[in-house]
Amino acid sequence: MNEKQDVNTKDALLEAAIEVFADKGFDAATVRDICSKANANVAAVNYHYGGKDALYMAVLEVVFPSDEYERYTSDDTEPEERLRQYLRKLVREIYERGNNIVTERWSIFLREMAKPSKNLDFIVKRQVQPRADELRDIVSAFLGPQVSDRILAFTSSSVWILLLDHLLTQPILDRLTPKRPAIREDNINEFVEHVLTFSIGGIRAVKG
């Protein structure tokens, strides 16, 4: 096998692994599944990555890049507008699925939530922590410097779950009567404004 073939096979395995892990999760995905999708020999995963665990880690490095996140908002913006900007950007990141990597990122995230692997700490550090930190800063700007860490944590979590509820529970929502609408391109702005209004009302009630 020449160097070019090696590179092509390694890249093909990585691309296939992203799809398979997003579709099946770490435990259910097999090396055979990945190699079949990549049109590679079953020994190729060990040869190029040293095994399934290391290949999964390579997938996480791609899907949750370390240098991707930039804060959505500026500290010198009024808290209400900061929260609106934050919600708009995060909701679109979560629910707009035109980008395959973004789709696969959230699929892997959900599978890790349902059945955590030893790599969940890595995902939280790369994907969740910076977004949670920014939301905490915004909520703190609403509540003021006197707010306790406990109340700040509860309030931030309450806003966070409003954003993630449809992502986590849509299969159930689809089966309720009347059916709850999925978040789509044609109702994202309406959803953002609802979450914003609901969140601000809750934050003001907490502040008293």
CA angle 69, 27, 52 (to 5 degrees): 75
Please, which pLDDT band fits residue 181 given cuts at 50, 70 and 90? confident
Residues 109-132: tens digit of each pLDDT = 889 988 888 899 999 998 889 999
For domain 3-63, the CATH architecture is Orthogonal Bundle (1.10)
Q: Phi/psi class of residue 205: alpha, beta or left (left: φ > 0; alpha: ψ in -120 to 50)?
A: alpha
Q: Where in the chain is the domain with CATH 1.10.10.60?
A: 3-63
Average pLDDT over residues 146-158: 96
Geometric angle at alpha carbon 45, from 39 and 49, rounded to 5° = 135
* 87: its two tokens: 């919600």
Which residue type does 21 have?
F
Cα(148)–Cα(58) distance, rounded to whole angstroms?
Answer: 39
Give the residue range(s) of CATH 1.10.357.10 domains in the chain: 79-207
* Per-residue pLDDT, 17: 97
Assigned CATH class of 79-207: mainly alpha
Q: In terms of pTM, does the model score above 0.75?
A: yes
Q: What is the pLDDT of residues 58-103, one digit of tens each?
A: 999 999 887 667 888 888 899 999 999 999 999 988 887 665 677 8
